[in-house]
């Protein structure tokens, strides 16, 4: 298959590499010619790492790079592509402009997919005036060649043939495809939001420190604590998604962004990419920290606003830290399932593959017992407010 990739940034280059590794030809397009070259270099570097690991031969590398071609216009993409993947900047107006042009030129049977992580696929599809039914979401996770999950998103207008084509395409890349309804945050970015937001609430309230929370969560079997994860992804990116969900859910309290993140972003402490976030990642010589998951606690001598101090009288134990985060995730999973965003098995699968959780939220709920989950959520609501209000679908299932 010939796959058109529109947008040659980090995600576009990663998707292009995944396509090449699966035997597809790729037409790589970007409005910035220099970006195409950077994207091509990123693909070459990614494939070279596979050569160094013995997973790809030098001859195969040459052949794979030969299947990566530059497309200098959208017309060049639509002239040959049998499926188009858009991975441009997260700007609704820009994406609508791209899809309007793609829809006007591509053959009717060519699926048009967006890799958006936060925008409405339905609003993007609305710009495809000829055949909106062929527009869908294929949300890859970063790094795209490595992460095993793709969320296959059905817009309100997506037809069954396009949705099935997207699922088959994702599975052909060796990914696990989970189908979900077009809803803010899809599955992972929505259901996993409490992983960081509830941790931030604890710091805001002085109940625990960054280090205490990360250590507790990692000891419970999660590969990375919330603050190390935010530093890895980028505090600014995580904050932007939190803001988008807060707006999309009409400022529902459980999605309220954290003032701590706002302050970190204002101070320029964005995580690993700025060499300092909740942790430091550079020594005096400017090298990255040697620590596998990210260095020492953030250095207050750097340009960083002080985090709220932990109050010993409010301190909570490690088990309570983990329980609160997990209960909030379980509750959000039931909210999503009750709104028919995705099925419980697919939500479990998505959280394990897309967020590296040791078990899915419904699996965890069964381990704890639904009655216990509800009782604990009610206690948390009494103490912390409506963000812990029991999801209607959880009430319904528990009382059947």
Catalytic site positions: 117, 139, 151, 189
- The H or E element spanning position 5 is strand 2-6
Dihedral of the alpha carbons of 391, 393, 396, 400, in degrees to the nearest 10: -130
| Distance between start and end Cα atoms, the chain | 48
Q: Taking CA 399 as the corner, what is the angle to CA 397 and CA 400, rounded to the nearest 5 degrees?
A: 70
Question: Are 357 and 220 contacting, i.e. CB atoms less than 8 angstroms apart?
Answer: no
Q: In what order do the strands lie in the sheet with 83-86?
A: 68-71, 25-29, 2-6, 83-86, 112-114, 135-140, 149-154, 176-181
d(CA 157, CA 120): 12
Q: How far apart are CA 221 and CA 204, in angstroms?
A: 24
Vertex 148: Cα angle to 109 and 135 (nearest 5): 25
Q: What are the Cα distances from residue 109, in Å, to 25, 102, 106?
A: 18, 12, 8
């Amino acid at each position: 298959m010939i796959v058109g990739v529109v947008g040659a940034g980090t995600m576009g280059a990663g998707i292009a590499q995944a396509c090449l590794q699966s035997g597809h030809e790729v037409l790589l397009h970007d409005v910035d010619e220099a970006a195409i070259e950077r994207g091509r270099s990123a693909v070459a570097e990614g494939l070279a790492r596979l050569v160094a690991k013995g997973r790809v031969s030098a001859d195969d590398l040459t052949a794979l790079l030969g299947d990566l071609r530059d497309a200098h216009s959208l017309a060049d993409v639509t002239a040959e592509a049998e499926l188009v993947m858009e991975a441009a900047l997260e700007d609704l107006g820009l994406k609508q402009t791209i899809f309007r042009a793609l829809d006007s030129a591509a053959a009717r049977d060519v699926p048009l997919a967006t890799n958006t992580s936060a925008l409405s696929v339905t609003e993007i599809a609305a710009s495809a005036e000829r055949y909106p039914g062929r527009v869908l979401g294929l949300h890859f996770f970063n790094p795209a060649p490595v992460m095993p999950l793709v969320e296959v998103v059905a817009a309100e207008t997506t037809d069954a043939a396009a949705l099935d084509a997207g699922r088959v395409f994702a599975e052909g890349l060796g990914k696990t495809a989970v189908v979900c309804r077009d809803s803010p945050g899809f599955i992972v970015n929505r259901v996993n939001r409490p992983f960081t937001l509830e941790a931030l609430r604890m710091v805001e309230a002085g109940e625990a420190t960054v280090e205490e929370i990360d250590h507790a969560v990692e000891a419970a079997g999660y590969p990375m604590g919330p603050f190390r994860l935010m530093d890895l992804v980028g505090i600014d990116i995580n904050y932007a998604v939190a803001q988008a969900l807060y707006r999309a859910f009409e400022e529902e309290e459980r999605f309220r962004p954290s003032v701590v993140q706002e302050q970190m972003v204002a101070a320029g402490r964005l995580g690993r990419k700025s060499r300092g976030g909740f942790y430091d990642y550079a020594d005096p010589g400017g090298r990255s920290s040697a620590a596998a998951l990210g260095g020492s606690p953030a250095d207050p001598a750097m340009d960083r606003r002080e985090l709220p101090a932990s109050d010993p009288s409010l301190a909570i134990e490690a088990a309570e830290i983990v329980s609160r985060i997990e209960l909030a995730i379980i509750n959000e999973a039931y909210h999503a399932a009750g709104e028919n965003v995705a099925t419980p098995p697919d939500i479990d699968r998505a959280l394990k593959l897309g967020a590296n959780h040791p078990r899915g939220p419904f699996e965890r709920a069964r381990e704890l017992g639904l009655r216990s989950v509800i009782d604990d959520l009610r206690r948390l609501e009494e103490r912390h407010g409506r963000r812990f209000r029991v999801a209607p679908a959880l009430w319904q299932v528990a009382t059947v």
